[in-house]
């Protein structure tokens, strides 16, 4: 009896080729490679093309978010790391990993939170924090690359905005350094507020057509997301 079972096991093992995988595994591998490559190409276009920067920024995390919604958290992590490795080969060991700040971390967070059905307030709020942190990290790294403090550019914009506000309000106030720095940081936060909300809105319109649903927006945001996702 034992010899017969052993023979059946040998026959069944020979019938399956070595290294074969199921259809689901093959689709996961294919989607991971294609969507990671898509994000990498968008990053290259964002970095080198002189036009379309705002559109590329919005589109950049979408393929990796879609991958996580369709295939799970582990393929999402694999897709992010595959994008980093591709960009290291294309752009070098410093510019390539910059995709993680904030787009890689943001795609992981949004995919994870949407897959678990978390509220937009949670995914949006923490997404803004991730985006702000990633923006500041990118400014630091790029400042080291070019040998110049790029935060000065943002500080000047905050200073000009603060001076215009004081002039329009006719306030007898002299701007101080901490006020200028606070205004510059506020500009970054406001930018990330709009950016992350835009990703939520586009994903809510597009992803259901790709068989990847996300939670419905809160009632307070229904006026901003007025199109029917279906």
What pLDDT is recorded for position 17?
Answer: 52
The residue ranking higher by pLDDT, 185 or 24, is 185
What pLDDT is recorded for position 195?
Answer: 95
The residue ranking higher by pLDDT, 175 or 126, is 126
CA distance 230 to 222: 15
The residues, ordered by sequence, that sit 6+ positions from 159 with a Cβ below 8 Å of its Cβ are 175, 180, 183, 184
| 132-191 per-position pLDDT tens digit | 999 999 888 888 888 888 888 888 877 777 777 767 766 666 667 777 788 888 889 999
What pLDDT is recorded for position 1?
Answer: 44
What pLDDT is recorded for position 228?
Answer: 52
The residues, ordered by sequence, that sit 6+ positions from 216 with a Cβ below 8 Å of its Cβ are 204
| 32-47 per-position pLDDT tens digit | 999 999 999 999 999 8
Q: Is the peptide bond before 68 cis (omega within 30 degrees of 0)?
A: no
Residue 136, classed as helix, strand or coil, is helix
| 202-211 per-position pLDDT tens digit | 999 899 888 8
What are the extents of the domains in the chain?
A: 25-221
What pLDDT is recorded for position 89?
Answer: 92
CA-nearest of 157, 207, 215, 213 to 186 is 157
Tell the CATH topology of 25-221. Answer: Arp2/3 complex 21 kDa subunit ARPC3 (1.10.1760)
CA distance 191 to 186: 8
Percent of the chain at pLDDT above 70? 84
Taking each helix axis from N to C terminus, what angle separates 23-48 and 73-91, rounded to the nearest 10 degrees? 40
Q: Is the pLDDT of residue 107 over 90?
A: yes
| CA distances to 96, 136, 167 from 159, in Å | 32, 18, 12
* Global pTM value: 0.84
């Amino acid at each position: 009896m034992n010899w017969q079972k052993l023979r059946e096991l040998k026959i069944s093992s020979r019938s399956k080729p070595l290294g074969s995988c199921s259809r689901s595994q093959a689709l996961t591998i294919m989607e991971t490679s294609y969507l990671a490559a898509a994000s990498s190409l968008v990053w290259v276009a964002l970095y080198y093309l002189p036009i379309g920067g705002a559109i590329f920024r919005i589109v950049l995390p979408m393929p990796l978010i879609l991958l996580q919604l369709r295939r799970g958290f582990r393929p999402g992590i694999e897709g992010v790391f595959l994008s980093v490795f591709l960009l290291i080969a294309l752009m070098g060991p410093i510019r390539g990993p910059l995709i993680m700040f904030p787009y890689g971390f943001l795609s992981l967070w949004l995919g994870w939170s949407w897959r678990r059905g978390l509220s937009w307030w949670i995914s949006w709020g923490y997404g803004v924090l991730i985006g702000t942190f990633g923006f500041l990290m990118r400014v630091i790294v790029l400042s080291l690359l070019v040998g110049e403090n790029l935060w000065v550019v943002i500080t000047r914009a905050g200073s000009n905005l603060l001076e215009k506000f004081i002039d329009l309000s006719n306030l007898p106030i002299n701007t101080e350094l901490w006020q200028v720095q606070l205004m510059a940081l506020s500009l970054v936060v406001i930018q990330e507020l709009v950016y992350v909300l835009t990703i939520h809105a586009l994903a809510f319109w597009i992803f259901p057509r790709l068989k990847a649903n996300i939670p419905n927006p809160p009632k307070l945001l229904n006026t901003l997301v007025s199109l029917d996702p279906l």
